[in-house]
């Protein structure tokens, strides 16, 4: 960017931040519409119901695909608690998370569920938690980041890895995206006893994650999501021809003036555009929430909660919510029942400037949910953006009609 203004650059997001944001905004267990595929270590062994943990014939190693909010953390916490012997005052269960913040989030769940098992204690192997060499750790469960856990095992001798019964590696896709974490995790795993139960979880399973999982978890049962194409049948799609961002704004105002909109999400390509648009809409009297990468994760979560609660009617966002985990997790992002309109103020592009079909699908998929009809409007301001729009039209085999926002009668018709 010529003027050095980073706000004019495309917003980018790392996977760890995205995962933490998802954890903060998921107040309830999500309803996952994906089909689950179970690949057993022994395919001839039948699946059956049990009433007790003992009947499960644990330990069994597991590789599982799970999005945020599906109860994954509670599941592996139960596995750890079921294996712990509270009379033994040393670490027996070890959980690795890719970042300090994610470790604390998982720790909160362990503490909440552990309240019903007060004899079991939790220790955090994270930055800032300084320990002296040779100190005896009496907590039965340790959660931490790979580097600190490795130090506790090797340098400081605080953990005897040979006494670990359950090893959980959470957020594997985030883990391998972080420099050094993959090698550290493998080193920890190699120190564990042969009978240790290995559990690995990941939101996505591209080839690099599968290779990592296969190195860490021997003879696993596998649970993964079958990709189910999202339908666009409940969403009306239109495009508006514009010459500038001012034209786009005027078109947006005309849409608002002609139809009743409960809540809307507007997507911009850069932080600079998002800030400008938020200011313009606020001047017009709209209740606007702005979400961008310059905010810390907790601030973003608060903005999302306010929008979800209906305190703001318009959410303007860059790609910050949608740049990771979308290829297999359609629910990643925000599900708000009252979102009736999605505006692509700028069409989504991938990092190379090419059409991004996945992001387009999941942007407009924020409307038309919960069985309701939705409206998606795309702002087209150049020949290139028209070519990109035609790519989306062809890919999804759905007609995207032209909308004349100067014709209020025409706008009113699309709302019916």
Higher pLDDT, 383 or 328: 383
CATH fold match for the domains 35-226 and 230-414 = yes
- pLDDT tier at 69, thresholds 50, 70, 90: low
**DSSP assignment letter at 130:** -
Q: pLDDT digits over 109-136, tens only?
A: 899 898 888 899 999 999 888 888 878 8
SS3 content of the chain, % helix, strand, coil (to 5): 35, 20, 45
Which of 25-39, 261-275, 348-362 is least confident?
Answer: 25-39
pLDDT of residue 411: 82
Predicted local confidence at residue 45, as pLDDT: 56
Q: Quote the pLDDT of residue 133.
A: 84
Q: How many CA atoms lie within 13 A of 254 on its CB side?
A: 18
Residue 384: how many CB atoms within 10 A of its CB?
A: 12
What band does 413 get if pLDDT is binned at 50, 70 and 90?
Answer: confident
Q: Are 218 and 381 in contact (CB under 8 A)?
A: no
Q: How confident is the model at residue 157 (pLDDT cuts 50, 70, 90)?
A: very high
Residue 141 to residue 160: CA distance in whole angstroms: 12
CB 18 within 8 A of CB 325: yes
Q: Which two tokens stand for residue 311?
A: 């305190």
Q: Which residues pair with 238 in a beta bridge?
A: 377, 401
Is the confidence at residue 258, as pLDDT, over 50? yes
At residue 146, does pLDDT exceed 80?
Answer: yes
Q: What pLDDT, on a 0 to 100 scale, did the predictor assign at position 29? A: 43
| CA–CA dist 262, 338 (Å, integer) | 6
> What average pLDDT does the chain have?
81
Q: Does position 139 have pLDDT exceeding 80, yes or no? A: yes
pLDDT at 407: 84
User: Hey, what CATH topology would domain 230-414 get?
Assistant: Rossmann fold (3.40.50)
Q: How far apart are CA 270 and CA 173, in angstroms?
A: 26
Regarding beta strands 35-39 and 221-226, do their DSSP bridges make them parallel or antiparallel, or are they unpaired?
A: antiparallel
Evaluate if residue 330 carries a pLDDT over 80.
no
Q: Is the pLDDT of residue 53 over 50?
A: no
70-78 CB contacts, 8 Å cutoff, 24+ apart: 70/29, 70/30, 70/32, 71/29, 72/201, 73/106, 73/109, 73/170, 74/109, 74/113, 76/168, 76/170, 76/199, 76/201, 77/109, 77/110, 77/113, 77/114, 78/53, 78/113
pLDDT tops 90 at residue 344: yes
Instruction: Determine the average pLDDT of the residues in 302-322.
Output: 81
Those residues with Cβ within 8 angstroms of residue 92's Cβ, 6 or more apart along the chain or in another chain: 83, 84, 85, 140, 141, 163, 164, 165, 166
Higher pLDDT, 6 or 312: 312
For residues 1 and 232, which has the higher predicted lDDT (pLDDT)? 232
Percent of the chain at pLDDT > 70 equals 77
Least trusted range by pLDDT, from 5-14, 196-205, 270-279, 395-404:
5-14
Higher pLDDT, 91 or 300: 91
E strand or H helix at 73: helix 72-83
| CA atoms within 13 A of residue 22's CA, in its CB half-sphere | 30
Residue 351 — very low, low, confident or very high, per pLDDT cuts 50/70/90?
A: confident
Q: How far is CA 39 from CA 6, 45, 200, 374, 391, in A?
A: 46, 11, 14, 37, 36
Q: How would residue 278 be classed by pLDDT, with cut points 50, 70 and 90?
A: very high
Residue 325: the pLDDT is 31
The region, left, alpha or beta by phi > 0 then psi within -120 to 50, assigned to residue 64 is beta
Task: With CA atoms as reference, report the closest residue to 34 among 1, 12, 65.
Answer: 65
Q: State the Cα–Cα distance between residues 131 and 137, nearest whole angstrom.
A: 10
31 falls in which pLDDT band (50, 70, 90)? very low
Q: Tell me, what's the pLDDT at 13?
A: 54
H-helix segments, 84-171: 100-114, 146-153
- For domain 35-226, the question of CATH label 3.40.50.300 is answered with yes
Angle between helices 207-216 and 181-190 (to 10 degrees): 20
pLDDT level of residue 4 (50, 70, 90 thresholds):
very low
What is the sign, positive or negative, of the torsion defined by CA atoms of 291, 270, 286, 257? negative
Domain ranges, ordered by start, for the chain: 35-226, 230-414
User: What local confidence, expressed as pLDDT, does residue 368 receive?
Assistant: 62
Per residue in 192-245, pLDDT (tens digit) is: 999 999 999 987 777 888 999 999 999 999 987 655 444 577 789 999 999 999
Q: Range with the lowest mean pLDDT among 174-178, 286-290, 412-416?
A: 412-416
H or E element at residue 307: helix 297-308
**Pairwise CA distance, residues 351 & 155, whole Å:** 41
CA-based diameter of the chain, in Å?
77
Mean pLDDT, rounded, for 16-40: 55
pLDDT exceeds 60 at position 318:
yes
| Buried b or exposed e, range 304-314, using 16+ CB within 10 angstroms | beebbeeebbb
Q: Give the strands of the sheet with 166-169, arranged side by side.
A: 35-39, 221-226, 62-65, 197-202, 166-169, 93-96, 141-144, 122-125
CA-to-CA distance for 32 and 16, rounded, in angstroms? Answer: 22
Question: Taking a C-beta distance cutoff of 8 angstroms, is the pair 374, 339 a contact?
Answer: yes
Pairwise pLDDT comparison (34 vs 152), residue with the higher score = 152
pLDDT at 23: 62
């Amino acid at each position: 960017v010529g003027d050095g203004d980073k706000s004019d650059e495309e917003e980018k997001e790392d996977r760890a931040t995205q995962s933490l944001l998802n954890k903060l905004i998921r107040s309830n267990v999500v309803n996952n519409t994906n089909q689950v595929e179970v690949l057993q270590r022994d395919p001839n062994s039948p699946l059956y119901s049990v009433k007790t943990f003992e009947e499960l014939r644990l330990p069994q190693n597991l590789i599982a695909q799970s999005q945020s909010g599906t109860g994954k953390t509670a599941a592996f916490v139960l596995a750890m608690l079921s294996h712990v012997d509270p009379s033994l005052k040393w670490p027996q269960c070890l959980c690795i998370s890719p970042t300090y913040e994610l470790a604390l989030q998982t720790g909160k769940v362990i503490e909440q569920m552990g309240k019903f098992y007060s004899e079991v204690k939790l220790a955090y192997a994270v930055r800032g938690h300084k320990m002296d060499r040779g100190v005896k750790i009496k907590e039965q469960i340790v959660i931490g980041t790979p580097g600190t856990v490795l130090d506790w095992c090797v340098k400081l001798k605080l953990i005897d890895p040979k006494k670990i019964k359950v090893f959980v590696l959470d957020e594997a896709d985030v883990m391998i995206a972080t420099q050094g974490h993959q090698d550290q995790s493998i080193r920890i795993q190699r120190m564990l006893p042969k009978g240790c139960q290995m559990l690995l979880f990941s939101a996505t399973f591209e080839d690099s994650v599968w290779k990592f999982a296969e190195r860490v978890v021997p003879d696993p049962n596998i649970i993964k999501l079958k990709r189910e194409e999202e339908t666009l049948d409940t969403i009306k799609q239109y495009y508006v021809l514009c010459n500038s961002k001012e034209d786009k704004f005027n078109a947006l105002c005309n849409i608002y003036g002609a139809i009743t909109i409960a809540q809307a999400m507007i997507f911009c390509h850069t932080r600079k555009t998002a800030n400008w648009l938020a200011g313009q809409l606020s001047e017009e009297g709209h209740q606007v929430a702005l979400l961008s990468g310059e905010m810390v994760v907790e601030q973003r979560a608060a903005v999302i909660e306010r929008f979800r609660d209906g305190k703001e009617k318009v959410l303007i966002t860059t790609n910050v919510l949608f740049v990771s985990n979308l290829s297999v997790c359609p629910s990643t992002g925000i599900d708000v029942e009252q979102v009736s309109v999605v505006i692509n103020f700028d069409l989504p592009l991938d990092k190379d400037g090419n059409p991004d079909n996945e992001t387009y699908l999941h942007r407009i998929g924020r409307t038309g949910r919960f069985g309701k009809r939705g409206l998606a409007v795309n702002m087209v301001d150049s020949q290139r953006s028209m070519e990109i729009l035609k790519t989306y039209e062809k890919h999804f085999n759905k007609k995207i009609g032209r909308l004349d926002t100067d014709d209020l009668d025409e706008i009113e018709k699309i709302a019916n």
